[in-house]
Structures are given as C-alpha cells and as structure tokens.
A and B are shown apart, each in its own frame.
Chain A
Amino acid sequence: MKKNFFPLICIPLLFTPCVYAVDLGHGFSLKGFGTAGMVANTDDQADYVANHAFQNYGAGRSDQVTYQVDTRFGMQMDWQALDRLSFTAQAITKQYEDKTWEPRLEWGYAKVKLLDNVDVRAGQIRPAIYMLSDYLDINYANPWVRPPSDFYSAASITHMTGIDFLWRPKTGPVTWLVQPYFGESNVKLVGGSNLDAENIAGINLTANYQDFTFRFGFVNYVLTLHSNDFDTTLIPALQGLCLTIDPVACQAISDFGLKNAESSFGSIGVTWDNGDYFITSEAGRRNSTSRTVSALTSWYISGGARFNEFTPYVTFSSSKSEDNTVYTSGSVYTNQIITALLANGGQNQSTFTLGVRYDFYENFALKFQWDRIDTQTRGGQAGTGKGLFINPTTEFGNSPNTVDLLSTSIDFVF
C-alpha cells in the first residue's frame, strides 16, 4: 500500500517556511518540488494518463477520479564541492510504469564549470529532447496542470547515462544556449517491456531575443525493444510464416521488428512572453526505421495572460500518426498480425484546454483545468480510435471519442 503513503509525507511540506532551498552548510543544499493533483474523467471506457508509455492506471475506466496521474514529489540535493565542481541528485516519487511509487533517481550528475559560460554535466541526466524536457516533472514551473500530453508523449527517453554541454554565448542582443548531448538509456515501459536507446546524440539550440525564445531540437538514437509479447509471440509467429507460406512475412520482420532501429525526434519551438501575456508553441516529428514506432507529427499552441496572481490560459494540441492503417501485402495471417500492430500504434487525438493558474501563496500554485480530448480513428480502421488513452474497451478503440477531463492541482517548490 505504498501509494497511500504519499499524501502523508506531503502534508508536513505544506507547513514548511517559504525559503527557497534549505542550506545544510558545507556547500550542501536541499530543494524540493511536488504536485498534489486530482483528475476526473467523464468517460468510463478508457483511462486518461499523462503519458501512456509510463503510466497504466489513470482516470476513467480504472477510477473515475484519481490522484495518480499528476501527483508527485521530488527532492534534490546539491553539493557545491569546489568553486567549479558540483554534484546533484534528484529523486522523484510518482506513479511509475510498474504502479509502484518507490522513489527513483531521475538525475544524478557531476557538473564542471569549464569556462564562465560553458558547463559540462556527466552522469544520469535528462536528454533535452523538448523545450520543457528539463522540468517536465516540475509543474510549478509551467502554467498548466501538466505539459500538453499530445506533444509530450512522443519521444519517451526520460533519462540517460551520458554527458551534455551547456554553452551560453552571446551575440549582440541575442543570448544562446547550445546544448549537445550524448548517452545511452534503458527505459522501462508499461506492461513489463523496456526500451534500449543507444548512441543517443542530440542538440538543443535556444536563442533568446527580448521577449522571444526560439528553439530547435534534434535527437537521433538506436532503439531496441525488449517485450515479451514481441519477442515470444509476434516475431516467432512472423518467423513461422516466413519459413512456410509467406515470404512477405520475412520482410515484415525487418520492417516492424524493433531491433537496432535508427530513430529520431526533431522539433521546433517558439515562445513570446512579455510578462503580461505569453504564447508558446512547439511542433515535432518522430521517425524510425522500424514501422512499429509509428511516424508521428505532434504540436501544440498555448497562450495566456497574467492578471496579478491569476494566469488564465488556453491550449490546443494534436498528435497524429502518419503510417498506413491496414497491411495487405502478405498472406491473411501476416496481414492480421501487422494490422493489429499498426492499430496499436494509432495515437491520433487532439485536445482543447482551458485553465487557470492561481499563485495563491508564495511557492504555491493552484490550478484548475478542463480538457476536451477528441480521439480519431485512422480511416475508420477498428482498434485505431483510442488516441493516447490506455485500457480501452473494444468499443472505445473502434470509434472516435470525445472525452472531457477536469483537473485540479496544487504545485509547490521549496
């Protein structure tokens, strides 16, 4: 019953004095952040989760109202060992893919200041795949209850063992962040499978000019999926067909197998924020040599206004698979297997969001949000209509759906 333990450790925090970081002396400091959130889903045919790769319990079919989607708590210990050398460890508890809430180390790295405007970090870090990669877990840092799921579910490499460089040159009025990163990762996914990402090589390029921030990101990696269903059922079935009646199945193994598949995610982003108003938008494209990782285009645009402590906002986001929906090139068995696999990759949905953030107390923010999610089938194909929902009923998967969500959360940092 670990999950029930969480709210208890949360409570004392609400009464901690409002200091930013606790100085422990000798260069050590302790910081923390968290979210206590509730989501209600009007539809009981499938579960809404913040990320379908990492959560398998959500609001809707499992439980109409749940705290499991957004609630989390993180602690960070920093040690400034020397003038130019520091160490950081950050652990987070939240709903992980195995449904436990056991805290995990999300970041653990050494940082060296090579030059006044160049830092290098080595250890366990988060690859800067998206504009908000670095603070996806810190909802206090963002206006919304959670970053737009349609966009932030596309590339699921949450951490890596590796190295990155943070170079901040300045050219005239423009401040830059040039952040190349390299590493490898093993990411645990729902359903007991896991994904190896090797040879991760990426770049995060940000330019800041007055109220504008422009961002370009690109990452390339080699993916290998370790999945029981995949390794012991799907691939052997295709291999059997390949050896007996259907040579097309041989080709399907190499097209759909997820072994050493070169994959990439590229994105652009822009933010305009003058303090009173903001507009922010990102668009991304996922590609892979394996057709199991469907080619995907996703984007969002969000805008809001700040009236003292209140920040109302509106967001539109979308996720769209680009792959074919039906496989017809092989024998009837091969076609069935591959069509089912393609249906599973269907992640077509769009979301309209209205919400408000209320900075009611120093270091605390209260948020209310309404999401209307429209899932789409791909060409009416059965099983492709679930969007990014999980645990769908057959009915939910076979048709487009409209789902309303109501969320509320309290975010804090200390």
Chain B
Amino acid sequence: MRLSRKIVVISVLCSASIFAKADVVVIVSASSSISQLDGDQVSDIYLGKTATFPDGSQAVPLELENGSELRDEFHEKVTGKSKSQLKSYWSKMVFSGKGNPPKDVADVKEVLKLIGANPNMIGYIDKGSVDKTVKTVFAP
C-alpha cells in the first residue's frame, strides 16, 4: 500500500517536473479596449515589429527578467525563439537603432501592478495569477 502510494507520489512528481510549465497567458489592463489578440500579433509586439495594438493604440510590452521560467515558456510558445536566438535578434535591432528589447520587470507581481495602471501595456503571467485589474487576451 505504502509502496504503491510512494510510486504514485513519485510519478506525480515526475510528471509534474515534465509539465512543470505553468500555463502562461498574455494580459492587458482591465481598462484596455483590446479584448483578444492572436499569437502573431503578440509576437510582433514582443519582437518590436510593431509598436501598436491592432486598433492603432500604442503597445508597450513588458518582459520578465532573464532566468524566469515563465519567460522561456512564453518565448517558446509565442515568438518561437530560444534564449540565444532572442539575444541574436535583439543585438541586430539594438546596434542598428531599429529598436530596443522590452523593459524587464522583476516578477509577476510587478507586471500586474504596472499593467493594472496602464492600458497601453501588455505582459504575460501564469494563468493562476490573473486578477480583476487585468484581462487575458491570448492563451497560447
């Protein structure tokens, strides 16, 4: 009995570590007029290919700091770029004056605080952290 329970626990832990990725969702302020975006639109905003939302209003993306698992998951699913590809990409943009990478934010709490107060901002957090100051516009 105890052994089988242990096995269950271990297998749960194992599968948990394989699927440890929290579900990342893309959010904007609850007061934003944007209700939905698709993956390409979010990707374009995060890669600096566009500076606006589809309705023409200014879009300011927020990035979680390097090393965050959520950040890696977001880029894997949305921009399709690995860490080193992102670095290469931004070195092209930065040193040619074509753009700067999104502003880095320390953690999800900070993302919520900034986005809740600014309808032009866009960010990503784990699904479980969504509160009433923000709304989900894309779930990859």
A interface list, Cβ under 8 A from B? 20-21, 31, 33, 74, 76, 88, 90, 107, 109, 111, 116-117, 121, 125-126, 134-135, 137-138, 140-142, 166, 168, 170, 173, 175, 208, 210, 274-275, 306, 309, 359, 362-363, 365, 413
| B81-129 residues at the A interface, CB under 8 angstroms | 81-85, 87-92, 94-98, 101
Shortest Cβ distance from B94 into A: residue: A31
- Whether A135 contacts B51 by the Cβ 8 Å rule is no
From the candidates A166, A175, A363, name the one contacting B87 in the complex (CB within 8 A). Answer: A363
**A117-B52 Cα distance, complex, nearest whole Å:** 7
Is B21 interfacial (CB 8 A cutoff)? no
Is B44 interfacial (CB 8 A cutoff)? yes
From the candidates A107, A138, A173, name the one contacting B92 in the complex (CB within 8 A). Answer: A138
In the complex, number of A-B residue pairs with CB atoms less than 8 Å apart: 78
- Whether B51 contacts A76 by the Cβ 8 Å rule is no
Chain B interface size band reads: 20 to 34
- Closest chain-A Cβ to B100's Cβ sits at a distance in Å of 8
Is B32 interfacial (CB 8 A cutoff)? no
- Whether A33 contacts B91 by the Cβ 8 Å rule is yes
- Closest chain-A Cβ to B79's Cβ sits at a distance in Å of 9
Known: A20-B90, A107-B97, A138-B91. 20 other contacts (CB 8 A): A21-B94, A74-B95, A76-B94, A76-B95, A88-B97, A90-B95, A116-B51, A116-B56, A116-B58, A134-B92, A134-B95, A135-B95, A137-B95, A142-B88, A168-B51, A173-B40, A175-B44, A275-B81, A309-B84, A413-B87
- Whether B101 contacts A208 by the Cβ 8 Å rule is no
Question: Known contacts A121-B97, A306-B82; is A135 also within 8 Å of B50 by CB?
Answer: no
Contacting residues, chain A, for B84 (C-beta < 8 A)? 309, 359, 362, 365
Contacting residues, chain B, for A116 (C-beta < 8 A)? 51-52, 56, 58
Is B140 interfacial (CB 8 A cutoff)? no
Shortest Cβ distance from B54 into A: residue: A170
Contacting residues, chain A, for B88 (C-beta < 8 A)? 140-142
Pairs across A and B, CB under 8 Å, 6 listed: A141-B92, A168-B49, A175-B44, A175-B49, A208-B49, A275-B85
**A109-B98 Cα distance, complex, nearest whole Å:** 12
Shortest Cβ distance from A175 into B: residue: B49
With a 10 A CB-CB cut-off, give which of B80, B96, B98 has the most chain A CB atoms: B96
Contacting residues, chain A, for B81 (C-beta < 8 A)? 275
Contacting residues, chain A, for B58 (C-beta < 8 A)? 116
From the candidates A134, A170, A175, name the one contacting B96 in the complex (CB within 8 A). Answer: A134
- Closest chain-A Cβ to B62's Cβ sits at a distance in Å of 15
Contacting residues, chain B, for A140 (C-beta < 8 A)? 87-88, 91
**A99-B49 Cα distance, complex, nearest whole Å:** 39
- Whether A135 contacts B97 by the Cβ 8 Å rule is no
From the candidates B56, B82, B96, name the one contacting A135 in the complex (CB within 8 A). Answer: B96
- Closest chain-B Cβ to A82's Cβ sits at a distance in Å of 15
**A107-B95 Cα distance, complex, nearest whole Å:** 9
Contacting residues, chain A, for B66 (C-beta < 8 A)? 362
Contacting residues, chain B, for A121 (C-beta < 8 A)? 97
**A373-B15 Cα distance, complex, nearest whole Å:** 52
**A192-B40 Cα distance, complex, nearest whole Å:** 50
Contact flags (1/0) for B16-36 with A, using CB distance below 8 Å?
A: 000000000000000000000
Contacting residues, chain B, for A109 (C-beta < 8 A)? 97
Question: Known contacts A141-B88, A175-B44; is A166 also within 8 Å of B98 by CB?
Answer: yes
- Whether B50 contacts A134 by the Cβ 8 Å rule is no
- Whether B51 contacts A138 by the Cβ 8 Å rule is no
Shortest Cβ distance from A140 into B: residue: B91
**A346-B44 Cα distance, complex, nearest whole Å:** 44
- Closest chain-A Cβ to B57's Cβ sits at a distance in Å of 8
**A142-B82 Cα distance, complex, nearest whole Å:** 15
